[in-house]
Amino acid sequence: MKKTSVQTDVSAPQTVTDFIKLKTSGQTIQIGFTDQKLSPHAGLATFAGFLQWHRFGRLLAGLLPAPGSNSALKPVDIAMGFLLGVLAGAKKLSHVAHLRSDPALAPLLQIKRVPSQSTLSRFFARFRTAALNLRTFDPLWQWCVHRLNSRPEGYTLDLDTTQLLHQQALSCEGVRIGHTSQGLKRCFNPLVAFLGEAKLVVGFWLRPGNTISFNNVVAFTLAILQRLPRHIRIGLVRADSGFFCEEWLQLLEQRQLPYIVVGKLYEPMRHLLRAQQVWHPTQLKGTEVAEVLTQQWSWARARRVVLIRHRIEEKESPSGKRLLELPGYSYQVLVTSLGSEVPALQVWFRYNGRAGCENVIKELDAHYGLPQLCLQKFWSTEAALSLAILSYNLCMLFQRHLGWSERVSASTLRFRLFTASGIVSQTGGFTTIRLAVPPEQRAWWRALFEKILSPFPNCNAVELWPVRSQ
């Protein structure tokens, strides 16, 4: 008797009969439809494996607020779907919901399904207070920092005040008119903290757009310092002028933390600039420095102030601010606890290293949806933004896990790794994803998965990119 074989692989090509004729200058291309389950983001299997290796879903499940109904989608399913959606390029809740049609994402994340826009809105609406946000996200920031190694010279803690413009969000809580680089605009005015060498975010607090610049900076800094593990030592604190206030300076001095902070160009600082007669030239054309030890009227002690001026006509894009009473130059003022063994110009150079955190902010804005994520309630917006920034941190830790010393942007990861397409099928009772990558690149992909899925940490780094097909 002739045996019949049962086909279990549903990824076999489907018959397509009706074609759309697309005529180009050289040929006619037939376009049709197929019933195969195709995933345009099958490359995210690498990142999903990284999350599973760290049991990140279990950590997240223990921190998120409980659902309002037993029949609702689990909070961890919603949060994981949102995280992977942001990494796939989503910048709005509706973008995340669009990924529901991808058949690979839910199995990869071990979730029931990718959440809809309304489900995401209800989920973030559960974050109603600052206490709930702190209780949820503080352990997540701490978890990220624990993944770092110690450094003998310590890490640099960079603190920044930034603005998120929302000109059209007229009814959203916290969107207020505030000072921005583009003038008075409707915005949020958040606080962000980074570890400079790791390019990792270690804290985020949202503030209304009309908040005074130094509001909550002491409490924010204390929260950051308290969550750092013992093996993470801070060797230097750098901050923009939003942190320049006496209480913040005293906090760092009491804890013996070296700092460099931008001084606000109020009248006392302007007086120092006007009174300064001796400027020392540097090896940088058009840049001169000076320094004074002074005690301003609101200071509890005398502090070292480094003054920098740049001749505008000799600089293509001079940094600093221009003063009407001192034409021809742009000026910067740095207040520091570093001793005289660090020359004034070196103080400026060390502060300029803070440009790395400015680049991180630009990447968060461009690739993680920070300027677009704005919900009706203030604390809901903070929760959504915190989760989006957490996806950035996970992306950085993913690259460290692979042993990559060169940091890669999210857009590069999406084009070269995450958007590798694949066929999703059921084979032998298993969900199967066949990645559509060229044969010459498959050895690299195998090495990538071996590194991610190895039960034991190892120091064997995977090459940054596979050989590209010609």
d(Cα 126, Cα 368) in Å, to the nearest integer?
22
d(Cα 456, Cα 53) in Å, to the nearest integer?
10
Are 78 and 42 contained in the same domain? yes
- Could you read off the pLDDT tens digit of each residue along the chain, which spans 470 residues? 444 444 445 444 555 458 898 988 889 888 888 888 999 999 999 999 999 999 999 999 999 998 867 677 999 999 999 999 999 999 999 999 999 999 999 999 999 999 999 999 999 999 999 999 999 999 999 999 999 999 999 999 999 999 999 988 888 999 999 988 888 999 999 999 999 999 999 999 999 999 998 999 999 999 999 999 999 999 999 999 999 999 999 999 999 999 999 999 888 888 889 888 889 999 988 899 999 999 988 899 999 999 999 998 887 777 788 887 888 889 999 999 999 999 999 999 999 988 888 899 999 999 998 999 999 999 999 999 999 999 999 999 999 999 888 888 888 999 989 999 999 998 888 889 999 999 999 999 999 999 988 877 666 788 888 866 55
**For residues 260 and 338, is the Cβ–Cβ distance under 8 A?**
yes
Are 210 and 226 contained in the same domain? yes
DSSP states along 159-203: EEE--EE-TT-SSSTT-EEEEETTEEEEEE--EEEEETTTTEEEE
Radius of gyration of the chain (CA): 26
d(Cα 71, Cα 399) in Å, to the nearest integer?
37
CA dihedral over 215, 188, 240, 321, signed as positive or negative: negative
What is the per-residue burial (b if ≥16 Cβ within 10 Å, else e) of 392-410?
bbbbbbbbbbbebeebbeb
Phi, psi angle pair for 117, to nearest 5°:
-65, -40
Are 326 and 278 contained in the same domain? yes
Provide the 3-class DSSP secondary structure of residue 248: helix
**For residues 392 and 143, is the Cβ–Cβ distance under 8 A?**
no
Domain housing 305 = 256-337
Residue 150 lies in a domain: yes
Residue 450 lies in a domain: no
Residue 344 lies in a domain: no
Residue 319 lies in a domain: yes
The structural domain count of the chain equals: 3
d(Cα 466, Cα 451) in Å, to the nearest integer?
15
- The set of residues, in sequence order, having a beta carbon less than 8 Å from that of 415 and lying 6+ positions away, is none
The verdict on pTM exceeding 0.85 is yes
Residue 225 lies in a domain: yes
d(Cα 280, Cα 290) in Å, to the nearest integer?
6
Are 381 and 427 contained in the same domain? no
DSSP states along 72-129: SPPHHHHHHHHHHHHHTT--SHHHHHHGGG-TTHHHHHT-S-PPPHHHHHHHHHT--S
Are 161 and 216 contained in the same domain? yes
Residue 159 lies in a domain: yes
Residue 324 lies in a domain: yes
d(Cα 163, Cα 189) in Å, to the nearest integer?
5
Are 317 and 232 contained in the same domain? no
Are 133 and 228 contained in the same domain? yes
- The set of residues, in sequence order, having a beta carbon less than 8 Å from that of 406 and lying 6+ positions away, is 464
**Residue 103: closest CA among 193, 36, 3:** 36
Are 363 and 386 contained in the same domain? yes
Are 184 and 282 contained in the same domain? no
**For residues 113 and 100, is the Cβ–Cβ distance under 8 A?**
yes
Phi, psi angle pair for 304, to nearest 5°:
-80, 130
**For residues 157 and 224, is the Cβ–Cβ distance under 8 A?**
yes
Are 13 and 59 contained in the same domain? yes
Are 395 and 426 contained in the same domain? no
Residue 425: Cβ within 10 Å count: 18
Are 44 and 109 contained in the same domain? yes
Residue 251 lies in a domain: no
